[in-house]
Amino acid sequence: TCCMDLNGKIFKVKQNNILYSNIKNIESELKDCDKYNFSFNELGTSEIFPQTLICSPNGRYIAVVGDGEFIVYTTIALRSKIFGTGDRFVWCNDSNCFASRENLNIILYKNFKEYKKSKLDYTP
């Protein structure tokens, strides 16, 4: 799995390792359908097996989702900011707000603290 933030930083996973590359470092101009071999550097190791990576809107954080859990890391040094349970994760336009879903429960987070919890009335 991989993702790219608005600043052009590409993140990808190799086993539990999170790797990154920056498209701003490309010296030649790319054209549509051109192949380019990016050189990836290791950012660090995730505590869970990543199944999904999701970049925050401002590019400061990356959410790793897998094994029924999520962890939000900083993109500079891969420091854990918050973790919780959930099989789905979505960022708000503001990078300090996000939501996770665990079964029928939606949990909203604000400033990296649990803000509200809601239960869905239907089965997804």
Could you tell me the pLDDT band of residue 27, with boundaries at 50, 70 and 90? low
What are residue 109's DSSP bridge partners?
98, 114
Q: State the pLDDT at residue 123.
A: 60
Percent of the chain with pLDDT over 90: 72
For residue 110 the two structure tokens come to 């604000």
Is the per-residue pLDDT at 99 higher than 60?
A: yes
Q: Is residue 33 part of a domain?
A: no
Phi/psi for 110 (5° steps) reads: -135, 130
CB-based contact 34:28 (threshold 8 Å) = no
Q: What is the DSSP string of 36-63?
A: --PPPEEEEE-SS--SEEEE-TTSSEEE
Structurally, how many domains does the chain consist of? 1
State the chain's mean pLDDT as an integer: 90
Which residue's structure tokens are 């999701």? 54
Q: What is the CATH number of the domain that holds 61?
A: 2.120.10.30
This prediction has a pTM of: 0.88
CA dihedral (8, 13, 16, 19) positive or negative:
negative
CB-based contact 21:13 (threshold 8 Å) = no
For residue 102 the two structure tokens come to 């665990």
Q: Is residue 124 part of a domain?
A: no
Range of the domain at 84: 2-25+38-119
**Looking at per-residue confidence, does 94 or 52 come out higher?**
52
pLDDT digits (tens, 9 = 90+) for 68-93: 999 999 999 999 999 999 999 999 99
Closest by Cα among 82, 22, 76, 89 to 47: 82
Q: Is residue 32 part of a domain?
A: no
Rounded distance between C-alpha atoms, residue 101 and residue 15, angstroms = 24
